[in-house]
Structure 1
Amino acid sequence: MSKIAAIIGRVLIGLLFVVSGITKLMSIGATATMLGSYGLPPSFAVPVGLFELVGGLCLAGGFAVRLVAVLLAVFTAGTILFAHNRFVDPAQAAQALKNLAIIGGLALAFAHSQMWGHYYTLRTSRRSESAALEAERRAHEAELRAARAEATVEAVRTTTPAGTHYVDTNHDGIPDTTLRGDGVRRRNRWFDW
């Protein structure tokens, strides 16, 4: 949900710059006069209009958001310094505050883009780590299955047949295997304690 809200905010802020750039490019003479009144060269009219238009389109389209957000924030701060620097005039103060709000929105667009960039990088690295761990887990399980199968085969091979008893006939401490009915005397065990 926060990604959708960030995209909507980024598009709306980009729209401000697109409309402003188109307005400046549609009336280049008025833009040149306005820039001259602020003490800037009138020849900046076309570059300023193009910068606002292209920057707004890039911001709204999500292209190089971090770079564009920084450039537009510096540009907007420059408009406060050069155009809206008479803070005693309520109209100029309102324009300066509006531009500060736009800079805040651009900072949020930068931060959100930065956060999602890190998120995607982290997610990609975690996927590769997860795949490696999964492969390691599968190899370990295959080794366990092989060891269990080997132990089962060994247990079947060493299991004595039914009816085989271990008796120490020569009293050397090692039980000798004898089958029933082989002539060895055995005591019946009545209690198994």
Structure 2
Amino acid sequence: MSIISSLFALIGRILLSAIFIISGIGKMTDISGTAAYMATAGLPTNLAWPVAIFELVAGLAILLGIFARLAALLLAIFCLLAALMFHNDFADPMQAAHFWKNVGLAGGFFSLFAYGTLAHSFDAWRARRRTVVVEREPGTTPVEPDRRPWSWRWRNRRV
């Protein structure tokens, strides 16, 4: 993967996660307003805290790349449900815009689910760490490398 591709993948993750991190914090700071808004859609008000926590945690998971594929799938479903439940009044241009915004976000999350986080993420680091093996001598059994980046085994590893 090129440096440009990995950089834009990181920028995309930052932008996709920002709205949920900010929204989750906003919901937590005004939980009564969140509960009242959820009640207008016929949802129980006691879901306000779980929704706020979910938005914050899932946004952070996307940002850091920790279980990002699972978080992306859950956020895609969340966006589609939010679009259908809260932004279904197409007579109001703002609600229609919010509907299509959520559909677009869901598309981005489905793409992230399909292709993963690529580079610069905890998931990518964990995958690289799992696949690194070093051969002591040709024909011998591969061994796990020394995890210290300054060691000769780390610098001479095979990927």
Greater strand proportion: 1
The one-letter amino acid paired with 2:42 is G
For 1:37, the equivalent position in structure 2 comes to 40
The one-letter amino acid paired with 2:85 is F
Q: Which has the larger radius of gyration?
A: 1
**Moved runs in structure 1, 4+ residues, more than 3 A?**
114-118
For 1:27, the equivalent position in structure 2 comes to 30
Tell me, in whole angstroms, the C-alpha distance in 1 between the residues paired with 2:48 and 2:19: 17
SS of match in other structure, 1:135:
coil
Tell me, in whole angstroms, the C-alpha distance in 2 between the residues paired with 1:4 and 1:67: 22
Given the alignment, which residue of 113, 116, 125 partners 1:110? 113
Tell me, in whole angstroms, the C-alpha distance in 2 between the residues paired with 1:109 and 1:4: 14
State the identity %. Answer: 40
For 2:149, the equivalent position in structure 1 comes to none
Tell me, in whole angstroms, the C-alpha distance in 1 between the residues paired with 2:75 and 2:117: 16
Is the 1:6–1:109 Cα contact (8 Å) retained in structure 2?
Answer: no
Tell me the CA shift for residue 135 of structure 1. Answer: 3.4
Tell me the CA shift for residue 104 of structure 1. Answer: 1.4
The equivalences for 1:35-184 within 5 A come to: 35-113=38-116, 124=131, 135=138
Is the 1:66–1:113 Cα contact (8 Å) retained in structure 2?
Answer: yes
Tell me, in whole angstroms, the C-alpha distance in 2 between the residues paired with 1:65 and 1:58: 6
Tell me the CA shift for residue 112 of structure 1. Answer: 2.5
Tell me the CA shift for residue 85 of structure 1. Answer: 1.2
Given the alignment, which residue of 2, 8, 13 partners 2:5? 2
The TM-score with structure 1 as length reference comes to 0.60
Tell me, in whole angstroms, the C-alpha distance in 2 between the residues paired with 1:9 and 1:115: 11
The TM-score with structure 2 as length reference comes to 0.72
Tell me the CA shift for residue 101 of structure 1. Answer: 1.2
Tell me, in whole angstroms, the C-alpha distance in 2 between the residues paired with 1:111 and 1:70: 9
Tell me, in whole angstroms, the C-alpha distance in 2 between the residues paired with 1:112 and 1:15: 20
| Residue correspondences, number | 130
Over the residues paired in the alignment, what is the CA RMSD in angstroms?
A: 2.5
Tell me, in whole angstroms, the C-alpha distance in 2 between the residues paired with 1:77 and 1:37: 18
Unaligned runs of 5+ in 2: 140-159
